[in-house]
Amino acid sequence: MNPHLSRLLADILLDRRNGHRRRVVERFRRLEHFDCLGPDRRELNRRSRLAALLTSAAEHVPNFQPLLKGRMIHADNALELLGDLPPMTREEIQSDPVRFVSDAAEDVREDYTGGSTGTPLRFLVDGETHRAREASLMWADSLAGWRPGERIAMLWGSDRDVASATGRLRLALRWWIENRRWYNAFDMSERQMESYHRAMTRFRPHLIVAYAGAVYELACYLAQRGLRPAYPERAIVSSAEVLTAAMRERVETVFGRPVFDRYGNREAGAIAAECDAHAGLHVNEYDFIVEVDSPDPYRRPGRLLMTYLANYAMPLIRYDTGDLALLAEGSCSCGRRTQRLARIVGRSSDIIVTRGGKRIHGEYFTHLMYGVDGVRRFQFIQDGLDDYRLLLEREGRGPDAGVIGRLRARLQEALGPEARVRIEIRDQLDKLPSGKFRFTVSRLAEECSRR
Ligand SMILES: [Zn+2]
């Protein structure tokens, strides 16, 4: 569909309740405008909004009440107060979620993440957060040259929020109006990739937004068959896992278009994104205060802590993302003066290949863990063509028999009837020597150049 028509239809038909769509678009414009402000105005704005968040947390969130008790909070001292607070982790929230929820929260919904380090988490978002997350993704896509209404091909995991057939129909209609098409990254079999290629050739997306590993798989498949895709028209946005230099080069060569890396999470949307200078990722400073917890954050990677200025229902203040990062020095040639991340040492996962030739992206397993209670962390391991293990680190009393049964049934469905699946409950799972955690491991994993 023509981008102008898509914008028009979306404005008329989508999310008019509470002016949701209008407010998302307004917020997106604010994000774009914020990047162009001078450092003093940005700083002042962030300090005042941080002060408002800390004040609300001090009054309404049990975790922060003792930490901020008796402290005067205002724009001038907000950043210093922030520095005095201890970082918060997913594990802490998991073990006592009520302590992190505001007693004044309104218009709240529950959401899940599989967690960047294999730590599943249930969290709450309010209406403002919901809009902020949507607007942040538009902002990240716009840094890659996309304009509202332009066609986007999503090579992404399925959305499990949509349970009913009516829900699925509504979502399909919505995506059609928004000029988006979805290609399931959880099924990257050769037959599927061939059909994705044909469908994208017809659709002519301006942008492909994809898991780094999934678009790399597609690029490998196309290269092996000598196929030259005539899409996307502008760029590829890579997200959700680490994009290595070799992956980027391969994808850019096959598609003949630049790759823009993006960093974000389910809790908060797009945190940082690459501009066309490709010299690190600009932080979304309107929504986040980002810190790299290292004695030398420009040279030695440290924990990436984020303070999310949008969510008052369950404030994430110095929240440990589970990823490590380095800050970029100097200013960017694009003219934006915002903070940049030079590199993110983030999540990594292997693609699981079944006997039936199905190629399942690692993100499938994080989606599998959405809303599962009693699990601190998980790891999925493929030991052989038919042998699989799901390792679960126990939280409290651990997952109950009903949960285990449901996980087993879904895994069997995904992996095929011949798969032997073992589910093991452990007191503790091992990390990699780097301190990072690989949440899917395939002992059969092969690089596409060797296939
Ligand atoms: Zn830039």
Distances (CA, A) of 283 to 4, 377, 405: 29, 28, 42
Give the model's pLDDT for residue 162.
Answer: 46
Distances (CA, A) of 20 to 23, 25, 100, 125: 5, 9, 26, 15
CA 283 to chain centre: 14
List phi, psi (to 5°) of 346: -110, -150
Distance 273 CA to ligand 1 centre (A): 9
Give the model's pLDDT for residue 99.
Answer: 95
In the chain, the domains with their CATH numbers are 352-450 (3.30.300.30)
Count of residues making up the chain = 451
Distance 343 CA to ligand 1 centre (A): 14
The answer to whether 218 and 196 are in contact (CB under 8 A) is: yes
Helices (H) and strands (E) in the chain, counts: 13, 19
Tell me whether strands 207-211 and 302-308 are parallel, antiparallel or unpaired: unpaired
Cα-Cα end-to-end distance for the chain: 37
The one-digit pLDDT tens for each residue of the chain (451 residues) are: 889 888 888 887 777 777 888 999 999 999 999 999 999 999 999 999 999 999 999 999 999 999 998 899 999 999 999 999 999 988 889 888 899 999 998 888 888 776 555 677 888 889 899 999 999 999 999 999 999 999 999 998 865 544 566 667 877 888 888 999 999 888 888 899 999 999 999 999 999 999 988 899 899 899 999 999 999 999 999 988 778 888 899 999 999 999 999 999 888 999 999 999 999 999 999 999 999 999 999 998 889 999 999 999 999 999 998 888 999 999 999 999 999 999 887 666 777 888 887 888 777 888 888 778 888 788 899 998 899 999 998 888 889 999 999 999 999 999 999 999 999 999 888 765 444 567 788 887 654 443 4
The answer to whether 181 and 125 are in contact (CB under 8 A) is: no
Distance 261 CA to ligand 1 centre (A): 12
Distances (CA, A) of 177 to 5, 151, 168, 373, 422: 9, 10, 14, 36, 43
The answer to whether 289 and 307 are in contact (CB under 8 A) is: yes
List phi, psi (to 5°) of 14: -105, 140
- The token pair that represents 357 in the structure block: 């030739």
Distance 281 CA to ligand 1 centre (A): 8
- CA geometry: angle 82, 85, 88, nearest 5 deg: 110
Distance 37 CA to ligand 1 centre (A): 14
**How far is it, in rounded angstroms, from Cα 343 to Cα 325?**
6
Distance 204 CA to ligand 1 centre (A): 27
Single-letter amino acid, residue 7: R
Distance 282 CA to ligand 1 centre (A): 6
Distance 209 CA to ligand 1 centre (A): 19
CA 413 to chain centre: 25
Give the model's pLDDT for residue 300.
Answer: 86
User: Which residues share a beta bridge with 421?
Assistant: 388
Distance 345 CA to ligand 1 centre (A): 20
E strand or H helix at 210: strand 207-211
- CA geometry: angle 217, 220, 223, nearest 5 deg: 150
Give the model's pLDDT for residue 186.
Answer: 83
The answer to whether 78 and 47 are in contact (CB under 8 A) is: yes
